[in-house]
Each structure stands twice: as C-alpha cells, then as structure tokens.
Homo-oligomer: A and B are copies of this chain.
C-alpha cells in the first residue's frame, strides 16, 4: 500500500481528496494536516466523512511527515505550497501540488502574476498534470503541478482544434462560469451565501491568474501566436465549471466532422466524454466525478466553432485530477478509485 499524506486537509480540495482516497484500493492515508484545526479529528470538521476516516489533523512538520509518506498532496494556497514542496522532494517523497506554484514554466511570468518564486529551479522539473497531454512525462514525474480548474476545462475544450490548426489562435474567446467552491473554504464576504445566491457576475476580466496558464498550454500546441480573452464568472452552485469557447474556423468543418475529431482525439482517455451532435454538457452531469464532458457546434452562419466543456471543479479541476496523476506516476490504471458515477439530480 502506498502511504499518502494530505497537506491542508480542511479546505474543499482537502475533503475532496479524502472523499476519493478513502475508497482507493492501493493507498493508505497516513496523515492529514491542518494548521487551523490541529488536534481535531477530520470527521468532526467534515461529518460527511464520519465512518470513513478517523484521522486527526496534525501540524505541518515536513520532516516527520516525509518519513511516513511515500507521496504527498499539497492542497495549500500558492506561496504556502512552495514553502514546503522542496522539503518533501528532498526527503524523497513524490509530490502532487494542487497550488499554482509550479504550473508556469517561466519564472518571470509566474512572478508577474503571483510573487517572487522561492524554488524556481523546480519549474523545469515539474510536470503539468494534465494526463490527456502529458501522460508520458507524468509516468516518471517526481513533482506534478496539478492544473487549475479553469485551465483544465479550457485546454481540454480547445486542444484538438489547436493541435490540428483548425482554428485561428488569434480569435480565441473563453467565457467560463464556476461554482462557488472554486473560491475555496476561506471565510470572505464574496463567498457568503447571500452575496452569491440568486446572483451572477463576471470578475477579473482580463486579469485572472489562470489566463497565463491557459495561454502557456495552448501556445505550446500552436505554431502561431495566440490571442485569448478569458472571462470568469461566479455561478450560484456548489460545484462545476462550464466553459464556452469561441474560435474562428480556418476551414469549413461541420459539427459532425468536428465531433469525430474530438472522439478520436479522446478515444483512449478515461475521463473525457465527447457528446453526440445535438447534446451539450451540463455541469449537473459530471457532478462529483472526474469527467470532462465536451459538446460543440460548428456555426455555418458565422464561421465559428463553439465548444462547451463541463467539469466538476473540485474533481477533474482539482482532487480527482490529482488522484489520476497519482495513479499515473504510481503505475496504476489512471481511473483506479475514480469510477464514481455522477449523482443526478
């Protein structure tokens, strides 16, 4: 049994890792940490876990934990993550980092959008944990940079078109909508029920930190420049991201032809479901699961293709993808422990 530790277990990503991992047949959770709830059983913080996990929250002692764990999930905010990741690696642990700290290859870009990086030497080594793009590199990775939730939904939606140079990369517009859990479990005014329920708004237009991450990955698939508008919105639901992506087609392709292309591209992937013509994704159909559902329409009137993708931001957008990455680097089937059926309604 692989011993895994969860650093930062009292956030929504933490509890989601626990939800998935308590049923995983090849691992054992040896440690959960929480600065805020040290000494408290995790099932007191999350009574949903009652009967599944009796662990008590520990303080974050890198050396002590590294002795007991083979693999560590760091579910900390950016900046906090890079304070501990090098230590776990040095002590021989594999690390799957769910923060933004190792996602950007270019230190300068990171420092422009976040702050000074304290372990830039790891940026080259870190593998961007999107198995649909990097499964070979992941197999031997020591440090995985688990992708952001928005980028996961956008990259999977647009990759087939950009890989095949079917759309003008200067024409990309991405309109994304995320459930409130994307803002984390931190206690802030904007996440209050009454501030979000029955409301809907855009935020961070032209300035959201996931923009450079999307650009980095899509640019890597394109042989040309890239011009991307990315607009996130806050959706009054617990979970789910739906991204509506617009691009100008460079050649005439029917909806049917494009769906074929997507089905071939993702045929071997465990967690991408390409929808038949006439059907479109709904965040309700992927709830609680690691799926990314993709639907699309080629609009003959405008010469544009509209691709819609739906994920659960806490699963394929965070904890589920992290477990998928763990499966890959440990040599398990990538879907092991992730065969959750969506709960509808």
- Which A residues are within 8 Å of any B CB, using their own CB? 12, 15, 19-20, 22-23, 44, 46-52, 173, 175, 177, 180-181, 185, 187-189, 191-203, 205-206, 227-229, 231, 233, 235-240, 242, 244, 246, 273, 275, 279-288, 291, 293, 297, 299-304, 306, 308, 310, 339, 341-345
Contact = CB atoms under 8 A, between A and B. Distances in A.
A244 B231 contact: yes
5 contacts: A187-B187, A197-B236, A200-B242, A202-B280, A206-B297
Contact of A235 (B228, B235, B345): B235
A187 B194 contact: no
Contacts of A188: 187
A17 to B, nearest CB: 11
B344 A15 contact: yes
A173 B287 CA distance: 29
Contacts of A192: 180, 185, 187, 191-193
A306 to B, nearest CB: 5
A311 to B, nearest CB: 12
Contact of A297 (B205, B237, B238, B283): B205
Contacts of A286: 48
A229 B237 CA distance: 26
A275 B49 CA distance: 12
B236 A193 contact: yes
Contacts of A246: 173, 175, 229, 246
Nearest to A176: B175
Given A19-B341, A192-B192, A206-B301, A197 B197 contact: yes
Given A197-B193, A198-B287, A345 B239 contact: yes
Contact of A201 (B180, B239, B281, B297): B281
Nearest to A194: B345
A206 B299 CA distance: 6
A173 B191 CA distance: 29
Most buried by B among A185, A201, A228, A240: A201
Most buried by B among A175, A185, A227: A175
Nearest to A211: B301
Contacts of A44: 279
Given A194-B12, A206-B299, A200 B282 contact: yes
Contact of A345 (B47, B181, B285): B181
B244 A275 contact: no
Most buried by B among A194, A287, A343: A194
B229 A302 contact: yes
Contacts of A197: 180, 193, 197, 236-238, 345
Enumerate the 3 nearest inter-chain pairs by beta-carbon distance, A residue then B residue, closest first: A199-B284, A194-B345, A48-B342
Contacts of A343: 19, 48, 287-288, 343
B202 A244 contact: yes
Contacts of A12: 194, 345
B202 A180 contact: no
Contacts of A242: 200-202, 233
A187 B343 CA distance: 20
